[in-house]
Structure 1
Amino acid sequence: MGAVPLPAHSCRQILKDVFGYADFRRGQEAAMSAALSGRDVLCVMPTGSGKSLCFQVPALALGGLCIVVSPLMALMQDQVDSLRLAGVAAETINSSRSREENVASWRRVAAGAVRLLYLSPERLMTESMLAALSRLPVRLIAVDEAHCISQWGPAFRPDYEALSRLRPAFPNVPIMALTATADESTRADIAQRLFGGKVDEIVLGFDRPNIRLTVAPKQDWKKQLLAFVKDHKGQSGIIYCLSRKKTEETAEFLREHGVKALAYHAGMSAEQREAHQNAFMTEPYTVMAATIAFGMGIDKADVRYVFHTDLPASPESYYQEIGRAGRDGDAAEAYMLYGAGDITMRRRFIDEAESSDEHKRREHQRLGALLSYCEATSCRRQALLSYFGESAEPCGNCDACLEPAATFDATGEAWMVLDVIAKTGERYGATHIVDVLRGAATEKIENARHDQLNGYGSGKHRKKEEWRSLIRQLVAGGYLIHDVAGFGGLSLSPEGDQLLRGQKRFNARIEARARRREQSTDEPLSPARDDLFAALKRVRLELAQERGVPAYLIFPDRTLQEMARKAPRDLSEFASLNGVGKTKLQEFGAVFLEAVSGYLNR
């Protein structure tokens, strides 16, 4: 059955009389109006912005039955309990309840005594349930946590993908999809799967300015966690861990140090989970160590921090999880640890998932985007919001703004990256770009004739992971655009174009330079070879001036130092130097060999 438009004051009256709110929050009225007019709508609103009211109020205004699709049984029960406390007839039918309870609930639904029915996608998308519901006056369908259609469906919740059958099953019923977390790619995916591509979109800002953002390299994670929790003594917080075992270990560790901590994960019994969740919601200063099974729909306003002991799965997951802090609008903190082991584990999770190659590829791209955020050298909030398609000024409320990382001028190497990306057509991912820079002999490079490029082999002096880190920092800084929805290709942003033209400079984290020094076994140049090094720099400057490019683009200092140390005598020896590719060997080899020979024969 189609929706019957009703005047807006009906919703306003319901909002006041039933839920006790005097006015709409931003975006709510537009979402309700779409539903009342029979239009499909996708709502992307930050955690704590009142998404549930967007469908609960129209459900009461329209009469009949509203079906609410929800991913978690605990979340469904919480919402049903909340609605009943407000005097709204709501029910849920799910596997955590007895058969007798479910039958009684269905009888009330069938009798027309229920306004909102909460179902999991698995329960809803059975032929028998769809057939039974088709005989009832369904006025509205709401799909909560709609990002799961894109991110969960192909992996371990296939019935979320099956929700694409809702539109033909209920052709005249408006569908409202809601989420706090959906980048442009995910929104397009939801729109296509659920609505066939045609849907009204209401996208509010993603910024949660009251949450301080901090990311730190993982060293001794227990020591780092304990120091953080002690600094937040007398506050409630959530600690996210990658495994069930680690949640238990973390809670026990904190209890040993006098912190009231509980564990929560899907391997616990329903009774244990409920008891721990109730304790967290009602007892002050409780800390919950949990997997991602905890938190979706948790409406505890005074969570003062979210601490990640491990790297989340994606920027969307991270944003969703930190959004559980500071829902009251007061100051809160999101603190994340990450290390090389986390990256390996996340990559393995993606590769081993029962999903399509296309889905795996996109999840790898999302993980790469999160790593870019972790390695941002400028405002972290800018990097996060940029991923969701928003621009922002430096926030002054993240570690990068408050305690800027020590950096070094990496303009030359950044230029090398941007130059190769531009010359290869701005359609290749980081792996290929790094291979070109390092002079790898891959089939892909040979087929594309990228071994003939001027920049081929120019980056031999840096390891693969160092180049990858630099590329992630360029993405985080807004100089490169990472095509998550496509094939992971890198392209230059307007800022990247300016950097490539020499109108901007780029600083990278100093840890990368420090690592190179620690790994280097080169001895300092002797005074005599210092003279040769100076002579080679003069040759480099002349070549750069002739071509109108910065000197470091001919060869970086490190290559010239190696050249001075080894004093190559022919093209074969010259080709073995780090930073000398085929093109540079042909173009500059003879000139530098002449300079070396002149020095040796003086």
Structure 2
Amino acid sequence: MFSADTLLPLLRQTWGFDAFLPSQAEAIDAIVAGRDTLVVMPTGGGKSLTYQLPALALPGTAIVVSPLLALMKDQVDALTHAGVSAATLNSTTSAESRAQIVRRYETGELKLLYVSPEGLATGRLQDVLRLGRVSFIAVDEAHCISQWGHEYRSDYRNLALMRDLFPDAAMHAFTATATPRVREDIALSLRMADPVRVVGSFHRPNLTYRAVQRTNLTQQLQELIARHPGDAGIVYAIRRKDVEEIAAALAKVGVRALPYHAGMTPEVRQRHQEAFSSEAIDVIVATIAFGMGIDRSNVRFVAHAGLPRSIENYQQEAGRAGRDRLPAECVLFHSAQDLIAWRNILGELVGEVGQAAERRLQEVQRFAVNLACRHRYLVEYFGEPFAASESGCSACDVCLGECTESPDSATLAKKLLSAVVRVEQRFGAHYVADVLRGAKREKIEQFGHDRLSTFGLMKEFESHDIVSWLDQLLGQGFLDRGPMNTLVLTREGWHALRGERPVRLSVPRGKPARRTKAGRGGSGADVAAPGSATHAIDDTVSAALFDALRLWRRETARLEKVAPFVVFSDAVLMGLIARRPLTLQALRACPGIGDRRLELYGDALLGIFRALPPEARGGVEALPDPRHVTPPPEAASAGGAGPSEGDAGVNDGGMNDAGVSDAGVNDARVASATLQTAFAAFDLGCSISDVMVMTTRARSTVERYFHDWVEDRRPTSASPWLEERELARVETAIQLVGRDRLKPLHEHLALEEPLDYAMIRLALRVIDARKKVAAAA
């Protein structure tokens, strides 16, 4: 009988990792047990692994339904590079390749076979699938099944026929975004039998969210791109015309950018997509048609040049940034005109579907204009409680203090609402702004609005400021849209006009810090902007080594005709830089280096590291093993990584005083860019010494990061930091001296072999987790 724990050696062998990300083990346990499973994990949460690993272990071939050909190719390439037998059958497969794939499927050689929903509708593919043994069926991007989802595709509704073809095969659905209603629709449509529902956290602490009034878009995008020199980014626009104009404007100012939309020929789209995937260009400007088929993990920023269609769309599109769990930035540039554009596009939708589309638009507008923590807004929208410190998430413009509440909100609101009433609620936001600014326009004079008491009442403000405040009043429900996108007061708006309702209006304050190229390896005087991936390698040697590894990766990918991220992710490269291995054994121990990649790239990587000057190579390997080092005195003090001697630091109940799981308590601290890098490194299995090099922080600081990571992730395995015998030593010590205080435990363990405070805390957490699992069983 398989379980997630028993598959850990296979995980290490194939992908080079020693532990699972949050929720992965739960999903894998359900899949290998043969239960129908509905898995909802945010982009970057590792949901693909939850079906790929069981597919290796179980007899037969897993059938994976995937919506886009590019996504299938990237995933099959990545699996092949990991030594996994995988293939895809789709409309582009040649007759010769198709015959070979079918033979491999019949003989059971294939462990994963990727197909499209359209292909499954044909009897020809169904006949092929009957020839082999199916281990289970995995439906990727499963939100496409639901008519309530944001990317509904009718072909997905027919996937239930797989139940009839393979009644004994379990059905598993995977998506990065789904509201509770969409989840239920997925389960019903696939005829799932009492499915296990695994819903990961929608909180993406490595992302910094910003929502900004759109003014000079080209300049605003330039400022964003300047914060991420040499990094990859995606810019989303509403219309094809916008895509072309934005891409041309960026290219004119020297940005390597290309457009992507459905109006292009398939050949041009493919060429532009490959240019982005292969790192030939830095920025792709696209409609929402782009992205679902892109598996590139090192996108450092995502910008929306207008409001997305819904919160679900935004969560998935913005979530394409930072999929490697390193810091990234998401900026939403918005305007009142966006709602008009979307209503024109969606105008044909009627009835309940049209009403649902309108509700989604209003919801995303509220997200853009509200003065609320943006992480909290997104997380709670999907029905998940959000825990943050009193200072907020520290990873959005609201909590970072970049937009603050105007002290004159009530007065501003009365002037704005009064102007709407004075023009008889017959005009839009820009006209109202012109009246308030006292603009000399023929239309204003024609209607006599230049004689109103509100004419010129706000002439000291810019037009975009006034429009922004009107957008905020719309988002907060004080205004609504009338015919032809006119502004009308709601009941709450009339109350606010009379001063009977509190109103909060934001004003922008300051801009995010800019990070220049020199900040990656220069004097260190530059400020790293939130979302910068290279902030953690700011010494000259590491920065140069990162560039060298990326160049080697790009050339290797070019020769193998795959995307660079298929070879290695940025996160794995940073782990290699931290350790700088000089032997195959040391390289094999690095996170992300499985057996097949070691065979493919081991000699080349060692050649790069061995070429370093002696003073720059093998720095981490020379450090002592962190598991057997007694921490300095400050590490065991209240301000260090270890707790005070009177606090064992583990809450057996796992709940705080409010009855909320502690798993999200550290989310606010995770928002720190350095801490984000540390968390990503620990997720990969890096040691404390590794992270010291990656973050250039002292041991006591990194041990504190490790403590925060343990409390946030709640690992059920101590590997690779502790061996089972060391866990057994801690359990024995607990029986002898108790666990109320760490100091007696530390001193008792030191009688045989020292174990530092960080590792003792990890052991306590793992021991507690195992007890809970045993009790539940």
Shorter-chain TM range is 0.5 to 0.7
Determine if the alignment matches structure 1 residue 186 to structure 2 residue 182: yes
SS at 1:352 equivalent: coil
Q: What is the rounded CA distance, in whole Å, between the counterparts of 2:356 and 2:111 in structure 1?
A: 38
* Matched-pair contact (CA < 8 Å) for 2:40–2:198: yes
Determine if the alignment matches structure 1 residue 384 to structure 2 residue 378: yes
1:217 shift after superposition: 2.2
SS at 1:34 equivalent: helix
RMSD of aligned Cα (Å): 3.3
Q: How many residues align?
A: 431
Q: What is the rounded CA distance, in whole Å, between the counterparts of 1:372 and 1:248 in structure 2?
A: 28
Whose RCO is larger (CA < 8 A, sep 6+)? Answer: 2
> Which residue of the partner structure matches residue 13 of structure 1?
9
> Which residue of the partner structure matches residue 360 of structure 1?
354
Q: What is the rounded CA distance, in whole Å, between the counterparts of 2:473 and 2:150 in structure 1?
A: 32
More moved, 54-63 vs 102-111: 102-111
SS at 2:296 equivalent: coil
**Cα gap change, 1:81/1:286 in structure 2, threshold over 3 Å: closer, same or farther?**
same
Q: What is the rounded CA distance, in whole Å, between the counterparts of 2:232 and 2:355 in structure 1?
A: 37
Q: What pairs with 1:190-589 in structure 2 (closer than 5 Å)?
A: 190-196=186-192, 198-283=194-279, 286-352=282-348, 357-390=351-384, 391-393=386-388, 394-401=392-399, 402-407=401-406, 470=473, 472-473=475-476, 506-509=502-505
**Cα gap change, 1:312/1:327 in structure 2, threshold over 3 Å: closer, same or farther?**
same
> Which stretches in structure 2 are left out of the alignment for 5+ residues?
415-467, 479-499, 508-777
More moved, 7-16 vs 157-166: 7-16
1:281 shift after superposition: 3.2
Corresponding letter in the other structure for 2:376: Q
Determine if the alignment matches structure 1 residue 137 to structure 2 residue 133: yes
1:118 shift after superposition: 0.6
> Which residue of the partner structure matches residue 170 of structure 1?
166
* Matched-pair contact (CA < 8 Å) for 2:139–2:173: yes
SS at 2:504 equivalent: strand
Corresponding letter in the other structure for 1:238: I
* Matched-pair contact (CA < 8 Å) for 1:188–1:197: no
Q: TM-score, normalised by structure 1?
A: 0.65
> Which residue of the partner structure matches residue 103 of structure 2?
107
Determine if the alignment matches structure 1 residue 124 to structure 2 residue 120: yes
Q: What is the rounded CA distance, in whole Å, between the counterparts of 1:272 and 1:368 in structure 2?
A: 35
1:196 shift after superposition: 4.9
Q: What is the rounded CA distance, in whole Å, between the counterparts of 1:186 and 1:346 in structure 2?
A: 22
1:396 shift after superposition: 2.2
Q: What is the rounded CA distance, in whole Å, between the counterparts of 2:93 and 2:148 in structure 1?
A: 24
Q: What is the rounded CA distance, in whole Å, between the counterparts of 1:323 and 1:151 in structure 2?
A: 22
**Percent identity between the aligned chains?**
43
**Cα gap change, 1:23/1:466 in structure 2, threshold over 3 Å: closer, same or farther?**
closer
SS at 2:39 equivalent: strand
> Which residue of the partner structure matches residue 580 of structure 1?
none
> Which residue of the partner structure matches residue 433 of structure 1?
none
Q: What is the rounded CA distance, in whole Å, between the counterparts of 2:151 and 2:204 in structure 1?
A: 29
Corresponding letter in the other structure for 1:363: A
> Which stretches in structure 1 are left out of the alignment for 5+ residues?
415-464, 476-503, 512-602
* Matched-pair contact (CA < 8 Å) for 2:36–2:192: no
1:223 shift after superposition: 3.2
* Matched-pair contact (CA < 8 Å) for 1:149–1:190: yes
More moved, 129-138 vs 361-370: 129-138
Corresponding letter in the other structure for 2:505: R
Corresponding letter in the other structure for 1:149: I
SS at 1:117 equivalent: strand
SS at 1:95 equivalent: coil
1:182 shift after superposition: 1.2
* Matched-pair contact (CA < 8 Å) for 1:10–1:61: no
1:150 shift after superposition: 1.6
Q: What is the rounded CA distance, in whole Å, between the counterparts of 1:469 and 1:172 in structure 2?
A: 54
1:184 shift after superposition: 1.7
Corresponding letter in the other structure for 2:120: L
> Which residue of the partner structure matches residue 59 of structure 1?
55
Q: Deviations over 1:426-477 (max 9, x none)?
A: xxxxxxxxxxxxxxxxxxxxxxxxxxxxxxxxxxxxxxx99995474379xx
1:57 shift after superposition: 0.8
* Matched-pair contact (CA < 8 Å) for 2:41–2:47: yes
Corresponding letter in the other structure for 1:406: E
SS at 2:146 equivalent: helix
* Matched-pair contact (CA < 8 Å) for 1:154–1:359: no
Q: Deviations over 1:62-110 (max 9, x none)?
A: 1211100111110011111111112211111112333443344233323
* Matched-pair contact (CA < 8 Å) for 1:153–1:160: no
Q: What is the rounded CA distance, in whole Å, between the counterparts of 1:25 and 1:87 in structure 2?
A: 21
**Cα gap change, 1:99/1:351 in structure 2, threshold over 3 Å: closer, same or farther?**
farther
Q: What is the rounded CA distance, in whole Å, between the counterparts of 1:349 and 1:106 in structure 2?
A: 43
Corresponding letter in the other structure for 2:259: A
